[in-house]
Amino acid sequence: MKNKTSIQGSWASRWIFILAATGSAVGLGNIWKFPYITGENGGGAFVLVYLACILMVGIPIMMAEVFIGRRARKNPINALADVAEESESTKKWGVIGLMGMLSGVLIFSFYSVVGGWVLHYIKVMLTGEMIGVTSDAAGSAFGALLADPATLLGWHTLFSIMSIAVVAAGINKGIETATRIMMPALFVLLIILVGYAMTTGGFAQGWNFMFEFDFSKLTWNAALVALGHSFFTLSLGMGTIMAYGSYMTKDASIGKTVLAIGGLDTLVALVAGLAIFPIIFSNGMDPAAGPGLMFISLPVAFGQMAFGQLFGVLFFVLIGVAAWTSAISLLEPTVAFLVERLKIKRITAAVGLGIIVWGLGIACLGSFSFMSDVTFFGKNTFDFFDYITANIMLPLGGIFIALFAGWVVKDKFAQDELQLPSAVFKLWNISMKYTAPIAVAIVLYFLINPMQ
Ligand code: TRP
């Protein structure tokens, strides 16, 4: 399997791959979800478990995804099938890729709705509607937005079109160009915002909240959330990184590259927390406010602060950019699959898939209004899609990818791609065979049989 390239093209350099994968990894997960689940799960101890999951489970699985993609240079389904065949196993392993595509579709449909909220809040911040509002007023403004499907539909549609357009334009003209412009912008915005947070007076409190490890607050559920989130935030378990890896140049070191991506993603999550919690604390608000944390507390906080309007706009632009570069990566594996399997044009594949995810997104946005009665296991569509993907499908996909890389792929092929020093290879191999699958299995077990 030497010297192949994907028919979709390849990244211009190793750095472009790092930035594109980081663009996928850094998203709503880092800036919207991570702070609020940290808040809900008590802070420090949760952060520590999350860091352990990233290091012990996330990074090794990401290496597996990249090498499988790069070895086969095909979409995830065919990549898994080809790599299995090379190691004299069954092509049926491609099924993991199929489950991954389904996860991508489900994630995109609620992701795009939240992306729409973000676009709406850019507008709200620009017009200054939130200047001087109370928490109650901001809460009812957010509630009113959720209860207004027409407005949500407009923003969700815009966000979907933005994402589909980039994917339709292809690897180099689309994703790569977007990456080159948006990732530097994202880093600059983030630095400006932490700098701002440091001036608010709540910085020490925000820092302590995130880094004081109080294990009495840790529960199995929190561990599950931390593990699920480590998959979600690194874009693992559904083939995104595998697809991106299939466009990676052969000479780049997978280990170092993956460490850079995992490191950047973690850094952005921590820094985003350090930008958000001080603002929350300095305004006397509740860090455990849930999904509304960013959309209720922050606008109030910005509305009370010097230059709050300017920084508020910057903040929501930052999240919008992060969400956009992630959303495109949710579509890419399936688009690559459709192009390669059905031999259709990329634009046709992107638009076709786009219509499906956009339609499912309508069920998600309707969860707060006309479809609020429709529930699955007691959750509305929006929450259900989030829960089943982040907490079940991605971890399951991760277990199977790990087992596949550890037990099915012959060591010589894995090592041919990874080129790790032999001690590190052993560690990686143990993680694939045992540590990662067992960790995931334990947490899933306690999810299904909660301890009293
Ligand atoms: N990682 C992104 C975030 O943190 C979301 C995302 C993009 C994703 N592609 C993915 C999650 C693939 C799981 C799988 O917001």
* DSSP notation for 224-251: HHHHHHHHHHTT-SSSHHHHHHTTS-TT
Provide φ and ψ at 375, rounded to 5°. Answer: -130, 150
Pocket test for ligand 1, best of 65, 66, 109, 232 (most atoms within 8 A of CB): 232
The CA distances from residue 180 to 18, 175, 235, 243, in Å, are 11, 9, 19, 19
- Residue 306 class from Cβ within 10 Å (0-12 exposed, 13-18 middle, 19+ buried)? exposed
| Interval 198-234: pLDDT, tens | 888 888 998 888 888 877 878 888 888 898 899 999 9
Q: What is the pLDDT of residue 313?
A: 92
Q: What is the pLDDT of residue 450?
A: 66
452: CA distance to ligand 1 center in Å?
A: 32
| Ligand 1 within 6 A of CB of 97 | no
Q: Distance between CA atoms of 431 and 255, rounded to whole angstroms? A: 14
Residue 96: pLDDT band with limits 50, 70, 90: very high
Closest ligand 1 atom to residue 323 Cα is: 15
| Ligand 1 within 6 A of CB of 24 | yes
| Ligand 1 within 6 A of CB of 389 | no
Mean pLDDT of 347-362: 97
pTM score above 0.85: yes
Backbone conformation region of residue 255, classed left if phi is above 0, alpha if psi is from -120 to 50, else beta: alpha
| Ligand 1 within 6 A of CB of 326 | yes
- In the chain, how long is the greatest CA-to-CA distance? 66
End-to-end CA distance of the chain: 51
What average pLDDT is seen over the chain?
91
Place of tokens 């093209």: 9
Higher pLDDT, residue 337 or 447: 337
| Interval 237-285: pLDDT, tens | 999 999 999 999 888 899 999 999 999 999 999 998 888 888 888 888 8
Q: Where are the beta strands (DSSP E) in 183-331?
A: none
| Ligand 1 within 6 A of CB of 364 | no
* 172-207: b (≥16 Cβ within 10 Å) or e: eebbbebbeebbeebbebbebbbebbbebebbebbb
With CA atoms as reference, report the closest residue to 400 among 262, 253, 242: 242
Q: Looking at the predicted structure, is the pLDDT value of residue 2 above 60?
A: no
| Ligand 1 within 6 A of CB of 38 | no
H/E element holding 64?
A: helix 59-72
DSSP tag of 12:
S
Q: Looking at the predicted structure, is the pLDDT value of residue 3 above 70?
A: no
Name, in order, each residue with C-beta under 8 angstroms of 417's C-beta and a sequence gap of 6 or more. 67, 70, 71, 254
Least confident of 133-142, 157-166, 286-295, 399-408: 286-295
Provide φ and ψ at 298, rounded to 5°. Answer: -65, -45
The CA distances from residue 251 to 16, 63, 83, in Å, are 14, 15, 19
Q: What is the pLDDT of residue 451?
A: 60
